[in-house]
Amino acid sequence: MGCAPSTQSFQVHENETRLLQEIDRLRNVEPSREAEISKLRAENEKLRQGQVNGEYAVTKPVERSESPEDDSHDMLVKEIERLRLEQIEKESELSELRQTNEQLNLTLQQSPSQVQQFATKNRNLPKVGDPVLAMWESTPWQYFTATIVSFNSEKLQYEINWDDQDPTGRIIDYYNLALDRVPEPDEVAIGSIVLFPQGKYRGQEGVRLGGLRYHQGRITSVSNGRGGQKLYDGVHTKGEEDNKWITYSGYNFHFTGMELSKLRISPNVLDILSEDNSSSAVDGVIRPCDIFISYSKANSPSAIRNHELGSSDPPPSYDEAVLSSICDPRDIRYQLEGYGATVNGDRQAQHSLIETVQQINTSKVFVACLSDEYVKDEICRQEFQYAKKTARKPVIPVVVGSGSFEWMMTVVGLLIAGEVYIHFNNRDVQDSKMTELLRAVKKSVPEVKFPQELGSVQDLQSTEDAPAAGIRDSADVFISYCWLNSENAQKAKQFEQIAEGLGKAKVVLAFVSKQYANSENCRIELQFALKSLKKPLVPVIVGADNDWQKTVVGLLVGGQEIQPINLQDVHSEHVFIEKLAEIQEAILPLLGHVEEARSYCAPVIGDHVISHHQKWAYYTATIVSFDRETLKYTVDWDDGDPTGKVQSYKDLAIDKVPSEDQVGVDSIVFFPQGGYSATAGNNTGGVRYHEGVVTCVYKDSSGFWRYDGHHTKGDEDGKWITYKDYNYNFNGVPLQMLRIAPNAMDALMACKEAFSCS
């Protein structure tokens, strides 16, 4: 704390509230003083200028006279002198006020922690000595006034003393208690859970005093009263089926016209943990992140398919078509990680909420995937409020889900009212919306990188790093194919982008078809590339027929050195992979690249492998033989099982510990989860392996690499997920326990080389 200079009688009180209030008072006084002085100056000047419209002029000295007129003149002169003296005094007072004001501001600047304390003094954070409303265990879902005595930070429980002196039920969980304070206007909206008064109870001599009953309710509507104040309507959240007593005098399922001053709200558990662990450092277990992404699993198709939702948060009634079309927040997270950002992982039941608090605190930006389901998820809502109001993180609102915007009427909607959100309404717009999100994230996380290659003309979107013409970066390969809505490309600017993209490309990869040949845009694009720019062309035939060969496009393609690669008769995965390899072999020489030696080696006879058996479960085995025509291996299982011994080339991998540079985020791996006991006459038991994707890589406190991730297959893929120890996620798996799952293309080509397949 500081104080004013010794020449000032003003002493700065240690209470920060007093300091701020004094500053406001001084700031209000100074303008009024200045206005008064200006008025006096104007009156003085008017008197000096002489008589106007019957008033007396004082333009020169006059001799004293005994006449009434002379007396009036003398009185005016004296009044002028008095006003001059008063003006000097006021100017002196104003100078003192300014000095005091400056000293107060300096004091506050030298004590920022106290300013922050003042700014957060009205937080909904119960502390010892605070008055609260707490639920009485003897009659569930009724709340009465009390005072906090102590707090158990491990159990998140408060000990209280009831105001009515009742000695029972004095240990209260944090979620069954509310600070007796009037909420802020942005803390209560439609859908908010509140405590509201309804009914009274009488005292009992020698046991307790009487008072008001409070109950838990949900706000259903908000209106304005006659005086402009907000009025809240709602309903009880609990009923007779929840063991709530509903026969008390004054009971009504509804409450109406309730003013904000009568409502109370429970504390945010993240605020409680933050306050209790404010000095805790992030240790080796809790990993800091650049971006904290908050979403409801009810909006994640992968979480819904894998049955990760609890009974309290059932998924929306999506059919498979809807699930396939909506954006998954997990995909957004993986893409952010792929662009160089560190992102928090999924919440796990065994993880402490302290990790959530510390990750939000260390993050640079908070991405909220908003939806109706999000605001109904208590933890999601508390994450949002903590990030926005307590941690004061920049928030990027992202809209996901089915397209409903009822969430805008809730507290979450109030907190971001007027802000621009990014609408990931379906997978068709995910790429373009991801560009918007990256642009927003990059303001807080400069390390984020934009994609360096453009996959198609549609991807030519400008970013903050792009040149004025709108192209992000020059792409070596320009992909040309038929646009479903080619009329949208008629704008001159888009043709300008196409022309610039073609000009910078080294190779044009054209997917030709009847529809391509009939498209005016595609024809212009191809003619410009081949005739004007003389670009090399790799043609790929798609579609159902060959009518395009008789068109101008057919003539252009027929005149090229590279023969078309036909994808029309591709009906199997390994043939498709072969065709992709052909395209790669055609493009690489045109780019001046020589194909590097393959990092993947195909298993050969005698190799020990991790191989698929059935239902996407993998086990250890040894290669016995290989069929060159079907590209399938025959294995002997380590556990002696006689079944499922013939497996595809792409479903097994060499049993070898990978190197550190082989496993990163998005790597497909085999990981162990769950064991199985021996079956008489069938197998000897062992460990199950499963295919998974790595989502996070970090070093533990001992300096060893650890890997988090989740299954790539679920119940909808026919995977067996009811085995003992099943968990959708895997966490903290060391490198020594992982195996590299084969890339289908690498595996196919390696098999061909290893076994000299034609």
Cα gap 475→451, rounded to integer Å: 11
pLDDT tens-place string over residues 110-154? 444 444 444 445 578 888 999 999 998 888 899 989 999 999 887
pLDDT tens-place string over residues 298-340? 888 888 877 777 665 556 666 666 777 788 898 888 888 878 8
Q: Facing residues of 633 across strands?
A: 626, 647
Query: Distance between terminal CA atoms of the chain?
Result: 85
Cα gap 479→466, rounded to integer Å: 20
Cα gap 393→497, rounded to integer Å: 37
Q: Dihedral (C-alpha) 407, 410, 411, 414: value to the nearest 10 degrees?
A: 80
- 526 band by pLDDT with thresholds 50, 70 and 90: confident
**Distances in whole angstroms, Cα of residue 276 to Cα of each of 154, 181, 195, 354, 696:** 10, 20, 25, 10, 28
Placement of tokens 């209260």 in the chain: 172
Placement of tokens 């989860």 in the chain: 673
Who contacts 585 (Cβ-Cβ below 8 Å, separation ≥6)? 595
Residue 625 has pLDDT above 70, yes or no: yes
Mean pLDDT across the chain, nearest whole number? 76
On whether the CB atoms of residues 646 and 735 are closer than 8 A, the answer is: no
**Distances in whole angstroms, Cα of residue 712 to Cα of each of 76, 162, 545, 692, 728:** 97, 53, 36, 5, 9
pLDDT tens-place string over residues 151-180? 988 788 999 998 888 888 999 998 899 999
DSSP string, 381-400: HHHHHIIIIIS---EEEEE-
Cα gap 193→375, rounded to integer Å: 11
Residue 357 has pLDDT above 60, yes or no: yes
- Of 330, 258, 325, nearest to 300 by C-alpha is 330
pLDDT at 588: 82
Question: How many CB atoms neighbour CB 417 within 10 A?
Answer: 9
Cα gap 199→194, rounded to integer Å: 16
Burial label, 231 (beta-carbon count in 10 A; 0-12, 13-18, 19+)? middle
Who contacts 109 (Cβ-Cβ below 8 Å, separation ≥6)? none
The alpha-carbon radius of gyration of the chain (Å, integer) is: 38
Q: Facing residues of 162 across strands?
A: 146
Residue 23 has pLDDT above 60, yes or no: no
Residue 709 has pLDDT above 90, yes or no: yes
Q: Is 208 helix (H, G, I), strand (E, B) or coil?
A: strand
pLDDT at 59: 38
pLDDT at 65: 41
Q: Which has the minimum average pLDDT: 80-84, 141-145, 159-163, 471-475?
A: 471-475
Q: Which has the minimum average pLDDT: 51-65, 86-100, 157-171, 344-358?
A: 51-65
On whether the CB atoms of residues 234 and 194 are closer than 8 A, the answer is: yes
Residue 469 has pLDDT above 80, yes or no: no
Give me the percent of the chain exceeding a pLDDT of 90.
21
Rounded to the nearest 5°, which phi and psi values hold at 539? -85, 140
Sign of CA dihedral 273, 276, 278, 282: negative
pLDDT at 347: 65
Side chain identity, residue 58: V
- 18 band by pLDDT with thresholds 50, 70 and 90: low
- 277 band by pLDDT with thresholds 50, 70 and 90: low
pLDDT at 314: 59
Cα gap 643→444, rounded to integer Å: 55
Residue 453 has pLDDT above 90, yes or no: no
Average pLDDT, integer, range 645-666 = 84
pLDDT tens-place string over residues 174-232? 889 999 999 988 889 888 999 999 998 876 655 556 678 899 999 999 998 888 889 99
Is the pTM above the cut of 0.75? Answer: no
What domains sit in the chain, N to C, each tagged with a CATH number? 130-267 (no CATH), 270-452 (3.40.50.10140), 477-588 (3.40.50.10140), 607-755 (no CATH)
Cα gap 101→107, rounded to integer Å: 10
On whether the CB atoms of residues 632 and 647 are closer than 8 A, the answer is: yes
Who contacts 686 (Cβ-Cβ below 8 Å, separation ≥6)? 619, 620, 638, 639, 675, 676
The C-alpha angle with vertex 623 and arms to 620 and 626, in degrees rounded to 5, equals 140
- Of 169, 175, 149, 168, nearest to 160 by C-alpha is 149
pLDDT at 723: 87
Beta strands in 242-294 (DSSP E): 254-259, 291-294
pLDDT tens-place string over residues 533-552? 788 999 999 887 888 887 77
pLDDT at 410: 87
pLDDT at 36: 64
CA 290 to chain centre: 11
Average pLDDT, integer, range 389-403 = 89
Q: Dihedral (C-alpha) 690, 696, 698, 700: value to the nearest 10 degrees?
A: -60
pLDDT at 368: 94
271 or 742, which is more confident: 271
Cα gap 162→146, rounded to integer Å: 4
- 740 band by pLDDT with thresholds 50, 70 and 90: confident
- Give alpha helix (H) positions in 545-603: 552-558, 573-591
The C-alpha angle with vertex 79 and arms to 75 and 80, in degrees rounded to 5, equals 120
Structure token digits, residue 645: 């011994």
- 730 band by pLDDT with thresholds 50, 70 and 90: very high
Q: Facing residues of 683 across strands?
A: 679
Cα gap 388→366, rounded to integer Å: 8
